[in-house]
Amino acid sequence: MRIKFKTCIVLLAGLLATNNLSAQNQNVLKYVNPNIGTAHSRWFFYTPAAVPYGMAKLAPSTNGHYGNKQGWEAIGYDTRHNSIEGFVHFHEWQVGGVSIMPATGELKVKPGDLENPDGGYRSRFDRKNETAEPGYYKVLLDDYHITAELTATKHVGFHRYTFPENKQSRVILDIGNVQGESGDVKDAKVSMTDETHFQGYVITYPKYLKGSDPDGQVAMYFWGEISKKPETVGAFNDAGITQGATASQGKGAGVFLNYKTNNQEAIELKVGQSYTSIENAKANFQAEARGLSFNQAKQQAQQIWQRELSKLYVEGSNESDKVKFYTGLFHALLGRGVASDVNGTYPKHDGSIGHLPAGQGKYHADFINTDAIWGGYWNLTQLWALSYPQHYNNFVQTQLQVYNERGWFGDGIANSNFVSGVGTNFVGLAIAAAYNIGIRDYNVQEAYQAIKANELNGKNRKTGAGKMDVEAFVKYGYSPYVDEDKADAEGAHFSASHTLEYSYSTFAAAQMAKALGKTADYQQLIKLSNGWKLLFDKEQKLIRPKRADGTFIDKFDPYEAWRGFQEGNAIQYTFFVPQNPKALIAAIGKDEFNKRLDDIFVTAQKNGFGGGKEIDAFAGVKSLYNHGNQPNLHISWLFNFSGKPWLTQKWSRAICDEFYGTESIHGYGYGQDEDQGQLGSWYVMAALGLFDVKGFTDLKPIVEIGSPVFNKATIQLGNGKQLAIQAKNNSAKNTYIQSAKFNGKPLNNCWLYRDELMKGGKLELVMGSKPNINWGTKVPPPSVQ
C-alpha cells in the first residue's frame, strides 16, 4: 500500500504526539513507593492494592488483630515487623475487617503473635521478596512457600495465591475478629453458598464511635467467588473448630477451605464489598469483577493510577524528589474511600440504606468515609480544587447527606456515624471554600444554613459533631478555659486552640453569608472571627487561654502542650490566624514577627521540622514548630504576608527537602500523623510552589507563590485547562525567586487570584541562590476581604 508523503508527515506527527503523551504517563508509577513511612503508620496508610478512593483497599497486615486501645494508634502494617497475619479488605478511619490468609500444613485458625509466628497461621516474609505498587501487592510467604498477590477494582478485592505441591493447602476466611481500628466485634457471619461462592458480614463498634455516636455501629458486607472447589470445608469461631461445617456466626467466625495443590498452582478469589448489604456486595461484584481476571484487574487498576497521578506531571533531575512527590500524591488519592455502591446506595446511621441524588451538575457524587478535615484546608482541599474537584465534591455531598439525616455535620464519618477525632469541626469551612471556588452542585441555601448552624448553634448538638463549646464561644467571643478535660457550654480545656479555630471557621462562613447577601449574619460571623484578639496577651505577644471571668490562666508555659491547646502549644498556635495574617503581624509587630518566625524555623530545622527522630505521632507537640501535625502547616507561608516572601521560599523548600524522606522510617517525619493524605498533599502543593494560607475561604480566593521543587510541572486543571510551571535555573541551591511572569506578563506579586491561575497558561519563575528582597514585597496578599 502506498501512502502519500504529506500523509506520512501527518501520521508521524500524530505518532510523536502520542508517544510524548504516553511518555508523560508511563513513567509515573515507578516513582510511587507505598512502603515509605510505614514505621508506626496508621491503619489506613498502607493499602497498595487499591484504586484511588476505592472501597476495596487490600493490604497485608502484620498486627491488625491487636487492635488499639486509643482507637487511632499505629496499627496494621509496620516495616519493623517480619511476619504477615493476613490480607485485609476494609481500611478506613475507624473501619477495618475481612481478612484472608493462605496456608499449608497443620490447621491453625488464630493469627498468632509477632513474637511467636509459629503459634498461629501467620507467616514470616522477607522484604526482598515483596513488591508494593499503586494497585498491586505481591509477597512470598516464607513459612508456606506461597506467593500472594493482591489487586482491586473500586469495590472488589482480588487475590491470587500460588501454592507449592501440598496435600494440606488451605485458604482461611477470618471474618469475626478485630482488624485495625475496627473496635469490638458485635457480630459476624460467613457461609459458603455453594462450592465456590461465599458471603457474610462483620459488625463492629469502634472506639471513636463509643464516645461520639454510641448508638451506632459499622457494618461491612461481602460476597465472593473462589476459582477452585475445595476438597473439604470447615468452620470456626471463639467456641472452637467444626470440621465439615460450611458456615459460622458470632465473634471469631471464619471458615477454611482445604485443597490438594500441585506445584505452582494458583487459586484466585474475588471479594465484592459493601457497607449496605450482601446483595449490594454481590451487585458491586457483578458490575466490576464478573469475567475480569486478576491480570486484567491489575492492569486496569494501574491504568487508573497512571491517569490520575499523571494529572500532575513533574520534570527534574532529582529522582528522590519525584519519589516524594508521587508517593505523596498517591497517599492523597488513596485516603477517604468511597462508602457507596455502584447503584448509588450508601449506609445511613440508623441502619437503613440511603440513595444518593443523581446530582445537579457536572459531578457524579460518591458517599465517602472520611477522617476529620482538621488541617485539610492546607493540603487536601487545595489539591482537590486544583486537579481533582470531583473528590472535593464527594466530600461536600457526603457531609450534606449526613446533615440531612443527622441534623449536623460530622467531624469524621464512618458509615454516616460520627467518629470525631479532635472535637472541632471544619466541615462548614471546607464547604464554604468549595462554594468560593465554584463547587456548587447542591442546594446552596440549605448548605449555607447547615454551615451557619455549625458555627453558631450548640442546642442539642451531638458530641460527634464537635464544637461542643460553641455556645460559650458565641457568648463570650472566645471559649473560656476550664480545668477539666471537657468541652461544653461553659468552655473547654482546649479553649485557646478552639477559639482560634472557631475564629477561622466563622470567617469562612461570613464570606459565604456576604456572597449570599445575608448582611446580619455576615456582621455576626465576622465579629466572631476576631475572637482570637481576646486571647492575645499583649505583654508576651502570645495567644494565652483565658477563663470566663476574663483573666488569663496562671502558671502559663508557652511550650506546654495539652493545656488550652490541642496537639500543640502557645508558640505554635499563636500563628493560627489564617483569616487575617495582617492583623496578627500588626499585633506582634512586623519586625518581631519576622524575627520570631524565622528563629523558630532555624531551631526547628535542627529537629527535622518535627519531633526529631522519635518515632511517635505526638513527638513534636511541645516543639516550636511541628510539621508532623495539623496546626502548623501554614506558617512557613506567612512570610508572604509579612514582607519577606523569600523566607517562605527558603523554609517551605527546606521542609520539603528535610522533613519528607524516602525511607520506611523517615517518610513523613519519623512516625508522624499522616491523616489520609494530608502530609502527602502538603508536599505536592509546596513542591509545585502553590499554596493558600486561608484555604480558599476568601470570597475571592488567592494562591500564593513559593519555591517549586521541580524544573517544570504540567498540571491538568480540574476545569479541563492546563497550567505549566517552569522554574528556570532551579536547583537545590537556587531556591529563591528572582523574577516571575504569568502568561508572558511580569508578575511582581508573590500571589495572584485563583480564578486567574485556573485559566491556565504558563507561570515562569527565574530562580537564584540568593534572595531577591525586592520581588513580591510591594503588595502583600490580601488579609481582609
Q: DSSP secondary structure string, 73-102? A: SS-S--TT--EE-EEEEEEETTEEEEEEEE
Whether residue 6 is predicted with pLDDT greater than 60 in this model: the reply is no
- In the prediction, which pLDDT does 362 show? 63
User: Residue 684: which pLDDT band, with cuts at 50, 70 and 90?
Assistant: very high
- In the prediction, which pLDDT does 54 show? 98
Percent of all residues in the chain with a pLDDT value above 90, rounded to a whole number:
93
Window from 8-17, 218-227, 469-478 with minimum mean pLDDT = 8-17
User: Residue 421: which pLDDT band, with cuts at 50, 70 and 90?
Assistant: confident
- In the prediction, which pLDDT does 235 show? 98
Whether residue 673 is predicted with pLDDT greater than 80 in this model: the reply is no
Distance, in Å, from the CA atom of 141 to the CA atom of 136, rounded to the nearest integer, reads 16
Q: What is the pLDDT of residues 451-484, one digit of tens each?
A: 999 999 999 999 999 999 999 999 999 999 999 9
- In the prediction, which pLDDT does 672 show? 75
Distance, in Å, from the CA atom of 245 to the CA atom of 243, rounded to the nearest integer, reads 6
Distance, in Å, from the CA atom of 477 to the CA atom of 189, rounded to the nearest integer, reads 52
- Mean of the per-residue pLDDT values of the chain: 95
Question: Whose CA is closest to 28, among 714, 693, 562, 724?
Answer: 714
Whether residue 585 is predicted with pLDDT greater than 90 in this model: the reply is yes
User: Residue 658: which pLDDT band, with cuts at 50, 70 and 90?
Assistant: very high
Window from 212-226, 242-256, 363-377, 704-718 with minimum mean pLDDT = 363-377
User: Residue 618: which pLDDT band, with cuts at 50, 70 and 90?
Assistant: confident
Distance, in Å, from the CA atom of 561 to the CA atom of 470, rounded to the nearest integer, reads 22
Distance, in Å, from the CA atom of 280 to the CA atom of 342, rounded to the nearest integer, reads 8
φ, ψ (nearest 5 deg) of residue 755: -65, -25
Whether residue 625 is predicted with pLDDT greater than 80 in this model: the reply is yes
Mean pLDDT of 648-663: 98
Classify residue 355 as exposed, middle or buried by CB count within 10 Å of its CB (0-12, 13-18, 19+): middle
Q: What is the pLDDT of residues 86-136, one digit of tens each?
A: 999 999 999 999 999 999 999 999 999 999 999 999 999 999 999 999 999
- In the prediction, which pLDDT does 26 show? 55
- In the prediction, which pLDDT does 23 show? 44
Which string of DSSP letters, residue by residue, matches 357-383?
---SSS-----B-B---TTGGGTHHHH
For residues 49 and 139, the answer to whether their CB atoms sit within 8 Å is no
- In the prediction, which pLDDT does 360 show? 55
- In the prediction, which pLDDT does 3 show? 37
Whether residue 4 is predicted with pLDDT greater than 70 in this model: the reply is no
- In the prediction, which pLDDT does 116 show? 97
- The kind and range of the H/E element at 430 are helix 427-436
- DSSP annotation of 113: B
Distance, in Å, from the CA atom of 440 to the CA atom of 716, rounded to the nearest integer, reads 21
Query: Amino acid identity of 384?
Result: W
Q: What is the pLDDT of residues 357-412, one digit of tens each?
A: 865 566 678 999 999 999 999 999 999 999 999 999 999 999 999 999 999 999 89
User: Residue 17: which pLDDT band, with cuts at 50, 70 and 90?
Assistant: very low
Whether residue 10 is predicted with pLDDT greater than 90 in this model: the reply is no
Distance, in Å, from the CA atom of 215 to the CA atom of 230, rounded to the nearest integer, reads 40
User: Residue 430: which pLDDT band, with cuts at 50, 70 and 90?
Assistant: very high
**Looking at the DSSP assignment, which residues form a beta bridge with residue 727?**
765
| Grid coordinates given for 248 | 459460622
Long-range contact set of residues 348-355: C-beta below 8 Å, sequence gap at least 24: 348/405, 348/416, 349/213, 349/216, 349/402, 349/405, 349/406, 349/415, 349/416, 349/417, 350/405, 351/217, 351/219, 353/276, 353/277, 353/280, 354/401, 354/405, 354/416
Residues comprising the chain, all counted: 785
Q: What is the pLDDT of residues 30-77, one digit of tens each?
A: 999 999 999 999 999 999 999 999 999 999 999 999 999 899 999 999
| Grid coordinates given for 555 | 502558671
Distance, in Å, from the CA atom of 142 to the CA atom of 420, rounded to the nearest integer, reads 40
Residue 305's CB is within 10 A of a number of other CB atoms, namely: 25
**Inter-axis angle of helices 444-456 and 495-515, to 10 degrees?**
150
- In the prediction, which pLDDT does 674 show? 87
| Grid coordinates given for 698 | 476568601
Rg (CA), the chain: 26
- In the prediction, which pLDDT does 785 show? 66
- In the prediction, which pLDDT does 9 show? 35
| Grid coordinates given for 747 | 508578575
For residues 147 and 139, the answer to whether their CB atoms sit within 8 Å is yes
Q: CA of 756: how far to CAs of 487, 696, 725, 762, in Å?
A: 42, 14, 14, 11
Question: Whose CA is closest to 693, among 456, 448, 421, 375?
Answer: 375
Phi-psi region of 86 (alpha: psi -120 to 50; beta: other; left: phi over 0): left
Mean pLDDT of 207-225: 97
Helices (H), 289-367: 294-309, 319-334
Distance, in Å, from the CA atom of 567 to the CA atom of 557, rounded to the nearest integer, reads 15
Number of continuous H segments (helices) and E segments (strands) in the chain: 18, 37
| Grid coordinates given for 433 | 471554600
